[in-house]
Amino acid sequence: MRKISQEDIEALIARIDQDTASESEKEFMIQWRGLNEANENEFHRILAVIRAQKKAITPFDVIKAREGVKTSVIQRLIKKNRSVKKSFYSIISIAVIGSVSLLGGMQYKIAEKDQLLAGSFELNVPAGQTSNCTLPDGTQVWLNSQSVISYRYNTKAATRSVQLNGEAYFKVAKDKKHPFIVAAEDNYVKVFGTEFNMTALENEDLFQVTLVEGQVGIFNNKHEEIVRLKPGEKIRKEDGGRFEMDRNADIEVITSWKEGRYIFKDVELTQITKKLEEMYDIEIFFKDEQLKKERFRCVLEKKRSVVKTLEILKLTSDVTYEIEGTKIYLKRK
């Protein structure tokens, strides 16, 4: 592979993001990303900066500008507070923080911490990435790829509430006086100090909760409790609104994504390729439709490049692959 400068890499990633890159350039980028983990990480870093810069220079109203300044002040405040040094606000989107620089010497002074933190905030994790944070109440949250969580901080509210679209793992800080609520489109989880994994995808009508420790209640949008889970149990909402209970959930398989691993035990290949698409922000197609139904056991690791992962699949099965532009095709050997 020919050598390429940092400036050329950045320019090429920008063209790919704008969908103006040639097919040969797209293919070069896939191969460059596959050389090692450092290249893969650099690709996502540059892409995030490019997209943040585009958002930062688009028109925004006064409210967004004020929230950008508030974010900057919050970060400085919390850095001085050791009890919340892993602040929720330390990973607020680059785009919002970027808007601060457009405000020049504008100052935003609030005396009280609760006033400063008041309001709604949203974290959006891009494809191929995971993230973790700590909310102001001490609750720890791990967010999977392409997940969004919205949080409103209000010390006078009777509950602590977040909205989830995607997958997240929660380690909820105990507070008997203020229950922790995780809401989805039609259902929500009421928490009583616990650890659990939750998936809520609006576009796929998927709702699933797995309890690791403690106790959670599952409610519908009429505030009726459907079931209360015990540790090791999983509940999943099926098509038609029916709930299915698994009293012996495989906790390791369900929560391994927090550690950058995805464990699959006897699943169809399409389930694995779907996760690969999320992990590496790529497209995978089948040249042999029969392959979709074949079942595999494997462990995907984020630290591996996409090419290395595909090579392992090739070496351990009768599946091989072809790269055409930004698309990957699977077929039998």
Domain layout of the chain by residue ranges: 6-56, 60-117, 120-256, 260-332
pTM (two decimals): 0.62
228 alpha carbon, distance to own chain's centre: 26
Q: For residues 285 and 274, what is the distance between their CA atoms, to the nearest angstrom?
A: 10
DSSP 11-50: HHHHHHHTT---HHHHHHHHHHHHT-HHHHHHHHHHHHHH
- pLDDT of 39: 87
- pLDDT of 101: 33
CATH class, domain 260-332, is: alpha beta
Q: Could you report the average pLDDT of every consecutive run of 10 residues in the chain (333 residues)?
A: 76 85 84 85 81 47 42 42 38 34 33 53 83 85 91 80 94 88 90 88 87 92 90 89 91 92 92 89 90 91 86 90 86 91
Residue with tokens 């596959």: 34
**Which CATH architecture is the domain 120-256 placed in?**
Sandwich (2.60)
Q: For residues 41 and 18, what is the distance between their CA atoms, to the nearest angstrom?
A: 20
Asked whether the domain spanning 260-332 has the same topology as the one spanning 120-256, the reply is no
Alpha helices for the chain (secondary structure H): 6-17, 23-34, 37-56, 62-79, 94-98, 113-117, 251-255, 269-280, 306-316
Q: For residues 129 and 144, what is the distance between their CA atoms, to the nearest angstrom?
A: 7
Count the Cβ atoms, other than its own, within 10 Å of residue 149.
23
199, 216 Cβ separation under 8 angstroms: no
Beta bridge partners of 165: 148
